[in-house]
Chain A
Amino acid sequence: MKDREQIFRDAFERHADELFRHASLRLSDRDRALELTQECFLKAWQYALRGEEVREMRPFLFKTLRNLIIDEYRKAKSFSLDSMLEDDDGGVLEANLPRDDTNTLEKACDRFDGARAVSAIRRLPEPYREVLALRYVDDLPIREIAGLVEESENVVSVRLHRGLKKLRAMLESEQEQRA
């Protein structure tokens, strides 16, 4: 059996940054993101100590972090079950968007500085923020995201799609306000 402690050390060196990145996209507070990242590794270690088997480190760490973030939301009460179940009004917003992509929005987005992109993703409501961050920032395949959030791949795809629409709508209305 390979040295468990060493596995954890390697996992820390390899994944600490991306877990922290994910946490800080999901939480507004950098310090809390730091704490949750640390907590994530400690929890995972304790889990392993109890003799539970960890098959794949990365999904396992993401899962642990996810649970911590959910707890955090509950504590903050900034996140209710209602908002999670809330059906999106993407259809309506979609109708408001111009048919083609050759509009002013594109030019605006080209000028998008990264900071605004980050701020936009942070303002996206859950659960869209979660799947979008996992997919486009953490580069997790849809299959893994599905395992993580305990939904079917289909649900994840739909959620991603709706999230994208929401994001577009958000950027668009922002653009209008600027104009």
Chain B
Amino acid sequence: MNTMNSFFSQLKKETQKIRLAAPERERMRLALDAAMASSAPIKSPIQPVPSPYFFAPRSLVPALALILVAGVGTSYAAEGAVPGDALYAIKVGITEPAREALARSDEAKAALHARFAERRMAEAETLAERGALTAKTALALEENFSRHAAEVEEIVSAVEEENPVAAADISARFGSSLAAHGALIEALGGEGGEENRRESGKLARSIKERERAVAHAEREAVTVTAERGGSGEIAVQTFAKDGAALSASIVVRDADEAVLARIEANASTTLERAETRFSGIRGSLDKETSALVEARIFRIRELIGNFRDTRGKGSEKEKIQQALKDAATLDAFLEAQAKFRGRVLLPAPEIEMFGDEGESEDGNDGRGGGDITIPVPASLPL
């Protein structure tokens, strides 16, 4: 077997040359780092990074705790960085693109971009609260934010045709998150130096603009669906025996129903999360604020419970979307309240949220600036 021996020694020698090139190796290492840092699959665009323990089986919790406390990689440490921190460049320049590269499905990609956009907003909030939002950082944040937000919109419109339920789900969540953060940045940036105030205001405005764009795109999608449904029904009337046309119109109706159900589920979970948050920080709130939050929770729960009621203005979808948006806003404010202890933020969202609600009750595009409206949504069935 001399021949074969020679063959295999040649083979061995040659195959040893097959190696990862240095950049390939580095890219893989980063992907692995990112996977380790996130530890858990990314669930939804709104959910704040869930505790890594959440998805881990109990037996693993101590091990994970050890990893988090002791053996933390740079990329993990970078996760909490804000612009100006040494590790921020790693967060935005390395770990995030690495995760982007990992996302496979369109939904996962959209979820990821939505989350990165939310991170930019959260970073802006942290800086605004410190009074440290400068024109330069605000611009950088806004650019990065817009890039991710645009990606979300693009994916939503790409997915629209094929999977209208997922598309509507993503844009409803993202829209509600934009509404929440826009209001929060505005509230947080209300103090501090002139630059901080100005930049927070600018940022809040552009987030709201983005939210309007998302809502608008969403409305167009609804119209398209409705038209499609309409033509489907015509087809059914004309060719009553045409099974294909019949099933087409049913599919459309089912998709609408599925969208409603998803948004409803999202609204409920978000509200639950807000309630949990509230019970956690309740002790640190004064009576008045607590009462406001309670009233708010009650109102949202009612909105979720009654959104199918056909009385009053607005479609079922508009109502349940409003509920989701309100719940997300409340949740975001409660989260900020816990994060920035010592500042009372809560009365502000009341105004903002009712402002939003009032606007959406008018129906159309009249979502102007933050007009303070009377906190009684008159058209809601009570």
Which A residues lie at the B interface, using CB under 8 A? 1, 3-6, 8-9, 12, 16-17, 20-21, 24-25, 34, 37-38, 41-42, 45-46, 49-51, 101, 105-106, 109-110, 112-115, 117-118, 120-121, 136-137, 164, 167-168, 171
Extra contacts, 8 of them, besides A114-B10, A117-B11 (Cβ < 8 A), are A1-B63, A3-B66, A42-B35, A109-B10, A114-B14, A117-B7, A136-B11, A164-B4
Closest to B32 in A: A41
A136 to B59, CA, bound (A): 40
Task: Specify which chain A residues have a CB less than 8 angstroms from the CB of B139 in the assembled complex.
Answer: none
Find A115's partner among B14, B32, B35, B102 (CB 8 Å cutoff).
Answer: B14
A26 to chain B, nearest CB (A): 12
A1 to B16, CA, bound (A): 35
B291 interfacial by beta-carbon distance below 8 Å: no
Segment 25-52 of B: residues with Cβ below 8 Å from A: 25, 27-29, 31-32, 35-36, 39-40
In the complex, how many residue pairs between chain A and chain B have their CB atoms under 8 Å apart? 115
A171 to B57, CA, bound (A): 53
B30 to chain A, nearest CB (A): 10
Task: Specify which chain B residues have a CB less than 8 angstroms from the CB of A46 in the assembled complex.
Answer: 35
Which 10 pairs from chain A and chain B are nearest by CB? A114-B14, A51-B57, A117-B11, A21-B18, A109-B3, A117-B10, A106-B3, A51-B60, A3-B71, A114-B10
Task: Specify which chain B residues have a CB less than 8 angstroms from the CB of A25 in the assembled complex.
Answer: 15, 18
Task: Specify which chain A residues have a CB less than 8 angstroms from the CB of B60 in the assembled complex.
Answer: 49-51
Q: Could you tell me if B14 and A20 are in contact, using CB atoms closer than 8 angstroms?
A: no
A sample of 30 inter-chain contacts (CB < 8 A) reads A1-B62, A4-B67, A5-B36, A5-B71, A5-B73, A6-B71, A12-B29, A12-B32, A20-B18, A21-B16, A25-B18, A34-B28, A37-B20, A37-B28, A45-B35, A46-B35, A49-B39, A49-B40, A49-B55, A50-B57, A51-B60, A109-B7, A112-B6, A114-B10, A117-B7, A117-B10, A136-B8, A137-B15, A167-B7, A171-B3
Main secondary structure of the interface of A (DSSP, over half): helix
Asked, given contacts A1-B66, A45-B32, A51-B60, whether A114 binds B11 with beta carbons under 8 Å apart, the answer is yes
A9 to B81, CA, bound (A): 24
B376 interfacial by beta-carbon distance below 8 Å: no
A123 to chain B, nearest CB (A): 13
B342 to chain A, nearest CB (A): 36
Asked, given contacts A20-B18, A51-B57, whether A45 binds B31 with beta carbons under 8 Å apart, the answer is no
B12 interfacial by beta-carbon distance below 8 Å: yes
Closest to A33 in B: B18
Task: Specify which chain A residues have a CB less than 8 angstroms from the CB of B36 in the assembled complex.
Answer: 5, 8, 45
A3 to B17, CA, bound (A): 32
Find A4's partner among B14, B20, B27, B63 (CB 8 Å cutoff).
Answer: B63
A38 to chain B, nearest CB (A): 5
B287 interfacial by beta-carbon distance below 8 Å: no
A115 to B15, CA, bound (A): 9
Q: Could you tell me if B31 and A21 are in contact, using CB atoms closer than 8 angstroms?
A: no
B280 to chain A, nearest CB (A): 27
Task: Specify which chain A residues have a CB less than 8 angstroms from the CB of B71 in the assembled complex.
Answer: 3, 5-6
Q: Could you tell me if A16 and B28 are in contact, using CB atoms closer than 8 angstroms?
A: yes
A105 to B3, CA, bound (A): 7
Asked, given contacts A5-B36, A17-B20, A38-B31, whether A117 binds B14 with beta carbons under 8 Å apart, the answer is yes
Q: Could you tell me if B32 and A112 are in contact, using CB atoms closer than 8 angstroms?
A: no
A105 to B7, CA, bound (A): 11
Task: Specify which chain B residues have a CB less than 8 angstroms from the CB of A24 in the assembled complex.
Answer: 18
* Residue from B14, B56, B60 whose CB has the most chain A CB atoms within 10 Å: B14
Task: Specify which chain A residues have a CB less than 8 angstroms from the CB of B31 in the assembled complex.
Answer: 38, 42
